[in-house]
Amino acid sequence: MQNHCPLCGSGLHSGTIEILDKDAHTKKLGELTDQERAVFVHMATGPSNADLAKHLHLTASTIKFHLANIRSKLGGVSRLQLCLLAVHHEACLSS
């Protein structure tokens, strides 16, 4: 079974990432506000809401609000999927 990244359509195969379109990530993430984008980028390390709040100098409830918005804008993904997308996005930027 092959899964695809909802941001760019890249195939995600058993632990490896096939990068198809780096620009698609930037376009989809362009729908996020600056604060949401900051939260998204930090999701690559799988932090708790409290850790995110401390690092970004926000309250935990503000983090929860941003995470709900991000998940909705990215197609209703789960928190785990959001973390994986952040890692995938980071890989797209570095390749």
pLDDT tens digits along 8-34: 555 554 444 444 455 655 667 788 999
Regarding predicted confidence, which is higher, 79 or 20?
A: 79
| Phi, psi of 4, deg, nearest 5 | -125, 145
Convert 41-60 to b/e letters by CB count within 10 Å (16 or more is b). ebbbeebebeebbeebebee
Which of 68, 72, 43, 70 has the alpha carbon at shortest distance from 55?
A: 43
The SS3 assignment for 3 reads strand
Tell me the average pLDDT across 84-88: 83
The SS3 assignment for 4 reads strand
Domains of the chain by start residue, with CATH: 22-94 (1.10.10.10)
pTM: 0.72
